[in-house]
Structure 1
Amino acid sequence: MIPSSVLRATAGRVPLSLTQASAQLIPPIPLYRRLLRVHRSLPHEMRFMGDAYVKSEFRATRSTDNPVHIVAFLTQWKAYLEEIERGLTDSEGKWQGRRLDPEVLDSLNNEQIGQLYEVMHAAKDVWKTPEQLEKEAAEAEARSAAGKE
């Protein structure tokens, strides 16, 4: 589907009407496939976490009949896809993240902030420096040696 000049002209405006938003969306199955395909370029740990999250979210939303919810769901996943693709192209194929916009953070509800906090801690456990990993390995060896005595 080729967007009309009217849709292209209004692409930067927010909010879109339901008709405009649905004209710019990618259908669920192709979007799902593109998300999993773009995750192949991420580091292994990020790919594993991202694939699991995408799969669970799409499964959970599979039976939704509310068109407003479906459009919002697809819109947000398309924005995520574009962000990942932009992050990959900016740094020559290696993922380059960015800070969360303060306006977006202010718009989150308490449950979303809690989920973001959990993701932050999960990501900190995955992304450790080599020095941190060596220190933890040495501590684990010391504990196991002390346990054998």
Structure 2
Amino acid sequence: MRETRRLLNASKIPFKVTFKKTKENENPLLPPLQLYRAIMRAHRRLPFDQRSLGDMYVKAEFRAHKNIDNPLQIIGFLSSWQKYLQMVLQNTDQDWKKYHIPDNMLEKMSDDQIIQLHELMKGTKSLYDEDAEETNKL
């Protein structure tokens, strides 16, 4: 540290540190409890079926990751849920129907994550199929 200061003082060029603004600097990670509450508040804007499914899923995921000690997993978990929160806040009902998971994201997923995603897809499809049957009966 002292050598660095000495070298900086000896140089004739003034040294100035500047930080570029990036998306991470603009949107720092929220603490887990604040993020959880913000997601639950954002779910209030969703239709009842989507809200109940989303609330159950968020609760289960946050409980499952409650005792994780690995900082990389914690940062990945929080940043993914923060992206989800931004998506919920920005999208309308029609935007959700257009959303697709990018192929590069699927390639990064483990087999367990793909199975979990498939189970979630089956659950949501069955939920909407039941709703469609009920409206057709009326």
Matches within 5 A, 1:123-134: 123-128=124-129, 132-133=133-134
Aligned residue for 1:86?
90
Deviations 1:29-88 (A, max 9, x none): 110100000001111111111111111111222222222221111111101111111213
Aligned residue for 1:111?
112
Between 60-69 and 39-48, report the one with greater CA deviation: 60-69
Structure 1's unaligned 5+ residue stretches are 13-19, 89-93, 139-149
Q: How many residues end up aligned between the 2 structures? A: 118
Larger Rg: 2
- Separation in 2 of the partners of 1:30 and 1:130? 33
Q: Tell me the amino acid that sits aligned with residue 96 of structure 1.
A: D
1:42/1:95 contact within 8 Å kept: no
Against the structure 1 CA distance between its residues 129 and 64, is the aligned structure 2 distance closer, same or farther, given a 3 Å change threshold?
closer
Q: Tell me the amino acid that sits aligned with residue 19 of structure 2.
A: V
Between 39-48 and 62-71, report the one with greater CA deviation: 62-71
Against the structure 1 CA distance between its residues 7 and 40, is the aligned structure 2 distance closer, same or farther, given a 3 Å change threshold?
farther
Amino-acid identity (%): 32
The residue matched to 1:24 in structure 2 has which SS? coil
TM-score by length of 1: 0.67
The residue matched to 2:104 in structure 1 has which SS? helix
Deviations 1:65-123 (A, max 9, x none): 222221111111101111111213xxxxx362112212212222221111111111111
- Separation in 1 of the partners of 2:131 and 2:56? 26
